[in-house]
């Protein structure tokens, strides 16, 4: 197929065997702990777009996107599909598994999560991680979605029937959140296949107007002690966005302190509100809105602004 080289880095027998084992956050109770987690990696190569030079790296005529697939399991087998899908975009210098403890909560609740490593902003980028390639990342996300959809339809693919193509969410952290704003709300790079967006510690870029005539549901998560990407960026995005929109302020939290998927109160708020948002606006569970409103307001920990 023109513009695509696909490398499957594990076979189906490996797919069925890989697992993170039991949940690492205590008792397996509630909707966030129904399943265990399996993983495999697909590497997508877009031959239609180049990777620019970066420091000592001379560049490449294509863009290589290793994509970690995390999926819900029961015993040694994937949970029967189709499941809702979340594409996760990481920040500059982040590793492919940095936010695994958080998005594994979504996987254990029944979601498939696909996390692509951008060519020049991941922790092993040739020439060093850089934000200079950011303008190419929205197209990377759309390319990965296209390849996942094709794999989902292919009866010979390890991803055949894994997810529902009408239930695709996008989540991003830091530079990944800025990328998510472009994919979700910029007329120039919007991907209408994305049904809901979670933006954690990000801000809207300056590439032009955003949100105009776009009503894709948005959840913002931001610590009010963030000095790397100050919370005003999320406040501005919330003010511009159209309903349905939600904004969780995490009291006293820095750029990364609430997003590790641990048991601290702020981390639990992030886990519960992101899952409730996905349940409502990706999986279509109407009752999840009540959970989102409840779990976003925790005395001394967080507050929630909302316009459902």
CATH of the domain at 83: 3.40.50.1820
Helix axes 265-281, 100-108, angle to 10 degrees: 50
Q: Classify burial at 103, counting beta carbons within 10 Å of its beta carbon; exposed 0-12, middle 13-18, buried 19 or more.
A: buried
Q: Taking the alpha carbons of 298, 299, 300, 305 in that order, is the dihedral positive or negative?
A: positive
pLDDT at 141 over 50: yes
300 vs 20 pLDDT, higher one: 300
Exposed/middle/buried for residue 123 (C-beta within 10 Å: 0-12, 13-18, 19+): middle
Mean of the pLDDT values across residues 243-270? 97
Residue with structure tokens 């087998």? 77
Tell me what the mean pLDDT of segment 186-213 comes to: 94
Q: What value does the mean pLDDT take over residues 251-275?
A: 97
CA distance 293 to 308: 10
Distance CA 101, CA 308 (A): 28
In the chain, the number of structural domains is 1
pLDDT (tens digit per residue) in 5-25: 444 333 322 232 233 332 222
Residue 174, by phi and psi: left (phi above 0), alpha (psi -120 to 50) or beta?
left
Residue that is written with structure tokens 């934000």 in the block = 131
pLDDT of 198 over the 80 cut: yes
Q: Which pLDDT belongs to residue 206? A: 75
Q: Which residues of 42-51 are buried (b: 16+ CB within 10 A; e: fewer)?
A: bebbbeeeeb
Q: What number is the average pLDDT over the span 178-184?
A: 98
pLDDT beyond 60 at 26: no
What pLDDT does residue 32 have? 55
The predicted model gives 29-57 an average pLDDT of: 88
pLDDT for position 208? 82
Region 210-228: mean pLDDT is: 98
Write down the pTM of the prediction: 0.90
**What is the extent of the structural domain holding 277?**
4-307
Q: Tell whether the model's pLDDT for residue 204 goes beyond 60.
A: yes
State the chain's mean pLDDT as an integer: 90
| pLDDT value of residue 9 | 37
Strands 36-46, 196-200: pairing is unpaired
Instruction: State how far the Cα of 13 lies from the Cα of 153, in Å rounded to an integer.
Output: 20
**What would the pLDDT profile of 63-109 be if each residue is shown by its tens digit?**
999 999 999 999 999 999 899 999 999 999 988 788 999 999 999 99
């Amino acid at each position: 197929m023109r513009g695509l080289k696909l490398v499957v880095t594990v076979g189906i027998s490996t797919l069925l065997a890989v697992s993170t084992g039991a949940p690492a956050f205590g008792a397996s109770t509630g909707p966030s702990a129904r399943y265990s987690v399996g993983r495999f990696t697909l590497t997508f190569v877009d031959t239609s777009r180049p990777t620019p030079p970066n420091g000592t790296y001379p560049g490449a005529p294509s863009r290589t996107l290793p994509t970690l697939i995390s999926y819900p399991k029961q015993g040694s087998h994937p949970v029967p599909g189709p499941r809702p899908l979340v594409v996760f975009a990481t920040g500059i210098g982040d590793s492919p598994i940095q936010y695994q403890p958080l998005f594994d909560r979504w996987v254990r609740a029944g979601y498939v999560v696909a996390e692509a490593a951008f060519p020049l902003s991941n922790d092993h980028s040739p020439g060093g991680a850089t934000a200079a390639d950011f303008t190419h990342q929205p197209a990377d996300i759309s390319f990965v979605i296209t390849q996942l959809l094709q794999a989902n339809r292919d009866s010979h693919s390890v991803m055949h029937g894994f997810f529902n193509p009408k239930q695709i969410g996008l989540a991003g952290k830091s530079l990944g959140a800025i990328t998510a704003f472009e994919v979700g709300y910029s007329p120039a790079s919007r991907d209408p296949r994305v049904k809901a967006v979670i933006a954690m510690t990000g801000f809207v870029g300056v590439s032009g107007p955003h949100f105009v005539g776009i009503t894709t549901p948005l959840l913002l998560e931001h610590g009010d002690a963030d000095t790397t990407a100050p919370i005003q960026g999320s406040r501005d995005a919330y003010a511009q966005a159209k309903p349905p929109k939600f904004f969780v302020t995490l009291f006293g939290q820095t750029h990364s302190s609430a997003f590790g998927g641990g048991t601290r109160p702020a981390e639990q708020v992030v886990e519960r509100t992101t899952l409730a948002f996905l349940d409502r606006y990706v999986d279509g569970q109407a009752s999840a809105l009540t959970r989102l409103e409840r779990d976003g307001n925790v005395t001394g920990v967080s507050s929630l602004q909302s316009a459902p």
